């Protein structure tokens, strides 16, 4: 990761890009008070400095056909590095796993998976989650309703 110091203009650029990643450079420059060339230089520096990781469209999960989020806590038999690596290789490859975190506490991993319904989750549980390398215990919680799902990181 490149270390660069950001200022208030960089924060304004990042804030506007988080809100609208498709904004034109000319519109962005106007909104932050820079010339288009100066704005583009700053955006490129923010990209190279790893402040901007990627650009993506955020899809409506329900409209995509998999409206249900399930949070899955997984505990492994062992914490040895080869067991963790084998588990992680399999999880990363599964399209329905939207997020996966190595955790402290009771469970080793926390996953967010998306499914059409309980029947699809049962199949995912039976044919994928319980067959992951090293799995000892799987504990699932269905989200009833999403209250907050932010994509913008606060820039202090």
Give the model's pLDDT for residue 88. Answer: 97
First to last CA, the chain: 20
With a CB cutoff of 8 Å and minimum separation 6, the contacts of 137 are 73, 74, 75, 107
With a CB cutoff of 8 Å and minimum separation 6, the contacts of 124 are 96, 113, 115
Q: What are the sequence ranges of the domains in the chain? A: 8-48, 68-142
pLDDT classification of 13: cutoffs 50, 70, 90: very high
Give the model's pLDDT for residue 4. Answer: 74
Give the model's pLDDT for residue 2. Answer: 56
- Mean pLDDT of the region 140-149: 96
Give the model's pLDDT for residue 143. Answer: 97
Query: Considering the domain 8-48 in this protein, what is its CATH number?
Result: 1.10.10.10
Condensed to tens digits (0 to 9), the pLDDT of residues 110-120 reads 999 999 999 99
DSSP string over 58-116: ---TTTTT--EEEEEEEEES---HHHHHHHHHHHHH-TTEEEEEE-SSS-SEEEEEEES
Q: Considering the domain delimited by 68-142, tell me its CATH architecture.
A: 2-Layer Sandwich (3.30)
Give the model's pLDDT for residue 39. Answer: 98
pLDDT classification of 156: cutoffs 50, 70, 90: confident
Average pLDDT, the chain: 95
Condensed to tens digits (0 to 9), the pLDDT of residues 34-85 reads 999 999 999 999 999 999 999 999 999 999 999 999 999 999 999 999 999 9
Global model pTM greater than 0.85:
yes
One fold for 8-48 and 68-142: no
């Amino acid at each position: 990761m490149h270390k660069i110091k950001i200022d208030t203009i960089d924060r304004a650029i990042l804030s506007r890009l988080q809100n609208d990643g498709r904004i034109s450079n000319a519109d962005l420059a106007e909104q932050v008070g820079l010339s288009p060339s100066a704005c583009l230089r700053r955006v490129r520096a923010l990209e190279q400095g790893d402040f901007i990781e990627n650009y993506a469209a955020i899809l409506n999960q329900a409209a995509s056909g998999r409206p249900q989020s399930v949070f899955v806590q997984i505990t492994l038999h062992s914490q040895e590095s080869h067991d963790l690596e084998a588990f992680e290789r399999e999880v990363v490859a599964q399209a329905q796993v939207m997020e996966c975190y190595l955790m402290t506490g009771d469970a080793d991993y926390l996953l967010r998976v998306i499914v059409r319904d309980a029947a699809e989750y049962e199949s995912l549980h039976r044919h994928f989650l319980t067959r992951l390398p090293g799995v000892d215990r799987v504990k699932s919680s269905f989200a009833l309703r999403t209250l907050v799902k932010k994509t913008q990181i606060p820039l202090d």
